[in-house]
Chains A and B, each alone.
Chain A
Amino acid sequence: MVYFGIILGCLLGAILGMHAPVISYTYSSYLSIAIIAALDSVFGGIASVIKKNFDIKIFLTGFFGNAILSILLTILGNKLNVDIYLAAIVVFVGRMFTNLAIIRRYYVEVWSNKIASLKEKKENETDSNTTE
């Protein structure tokens, strides 16, 4: 159910995005920062699901709040003539990597557990076979 909703949203979003008009290059840089922030929130959400402390409120506020904040910071950086968006990218991408590492570790663990259990089963089967 949840996966179905996500996939449907992705498909509709892809269709809309492909038909959306091209935006100005100036705003495109703000949009890219927002995308990075949103992606960071998504990976953070997945990691929190794995950690079993996922909260939809935190996810939603993180998703939109981070995006908007990063845009505002970039605008401020432009006004101050400081490349704040670089700091935002470093922070967000760094967090994305840590979250991805958490996800990777979890699935590797799951896989290794599965394989171990399969092996155990097999061994048990062979054991039972030999005992028979």
Chain B
Amino acid sequence: MKTKMALSIILGLVSFVLVAIMFTQFKTVEQTDITAIETMREAELRTELTSWKAKYDEVQEKVDDTKNKIAEYETQLNSSQNTSDVINNEIKDYERFLGYTKVTGQGIEITLSDSEDKLIESLDLLKLVNELKSAGAEAISINDERIVTNSDIVSVNNRLILVNSRKLSSPYVVKAIGDKKYLESAIIIKGGYIDSIKAAEKAIDYVLKDDILIDSYKEEIKMDYSKEVEDND
């Protein structure tokens, strides 16, 4: 009786252990998510690892390619920056030529002023500007109105003088940058400009300066009607 009791207890325990393990295993097999990395077998993990390594190498290659491309683009960018610098310099030069920049340099400053009975006319200014231009003036302004290629110097009703369509009044200060000796000699020559003005009993005075500052042209130069024509020579 006692041995039977012990036997049944032992067999019960054994079956308990076996069945418990079996059910745990059933549950595990049933519930295991094959894709979850924690539950993967080593072999699976190894194959996964190798595939990822291959992918990594591929991506690394792509990264290198892209880096090379970036370097290429950077060099191109630098070279294009150089060309754009050149172009910018050219643009600045042309702006200077056109009168779109303030300029300074040696030159002459001529002051014409109305006297009590004689007024300065637009023709006087026009003549003076022409004289200065022929003497090699690089930049000219009248009362800080810059004289450019399409500047006008006209009089209205023989009273008002318009330069660049702006009304000016006496005294008229004409500044010109250029070789100051040439400029001076161009106007003080005998029978020249100053003589003619003085003969007309108008007041004129001039100063030679080394640092004449001439303001820039403020308007926009428009080309509405003229079109470019190809040169065929």
How long is the Cα–Cα vector from A14 to B11 in the complex, in angstroms? 15
The bracket for how many chain A residues form the interface is 20 to 34
How long is the Cα–Cα vector from A9 to B21 in the complex, in angstroms? 12
A13 touching B20, Cβ below 8 Å: yes
Question: How far, in Å, is B65 (CB) from chain A's closest CB?
Answer: 39
A39 touching B28, Cβ below 8 Å: no
B12 touching A5, Cβ below 8 Å: yes
Question: How far, in Å, is B13 (CB) from chain A's closest CB?
Answer: 6
B29 touching A9, Cβ below 8 Å: no
Closest to A34 in B: B21
- Stretch among A15-23, A93-101, A108-116, A123-131 lining the B interface: A15-23
Question: With an 8 A cutoff between CB atoms, is B130 at the interface?
Answer: no
| Chain A residues whose CB sits within 8 angstroms of the CB of B31 once the complex forms | 22
- Secondary structure dominating the interface of A: helix
Question: With an 8 A cutoff between CB atoms, is A82 at the interface?
Answer: no
State which residues 91-112 of B face A: CB under 8 Å: none
How long is the Cα–Cα vector from A81 to B23 in the complex, in angstroms? 29
Task: Compute the total of residue contacts between A and B using a CB distance below 8 Å.
Answer: 106
Question: How far, in Å, is A125 (CB) from chain B's closest CB?
Answer: 38
Question: With an 8 A cutoff between CB atoms, is B25 at the interface?
Answer: yes
Question: With an 8 A cutoff between CB atoms, is B41 at the interface?
Answer: yes
Number of B residues contacting the other chain (C-beta, 8 Å)? 32
Q: Ordered nearest first, which 5 A-B pairs have the shortest CB separation?
A: A17-B23, A13-B19, A5-B8, A9-B12, A5-B12
A1-B5, A25-B32, A60-B10 known; A20-B16 Cβ under 8 A: no
Question: With an 8 A cutoff between CB atoms, is A29 at the interface?
Answer: yes
- Contact partner of B14 (CB less than 8 A), chosen from A8, A20, A63, A78, is A63
Closest to B25 in A: A31
Closest to A39 in B: B18
| Chain A residues whose CB sits within 8 angstroms of the CB of B42 once the complex forms | 26, 78
B24 touching A2, Cβ below 8 Å: no
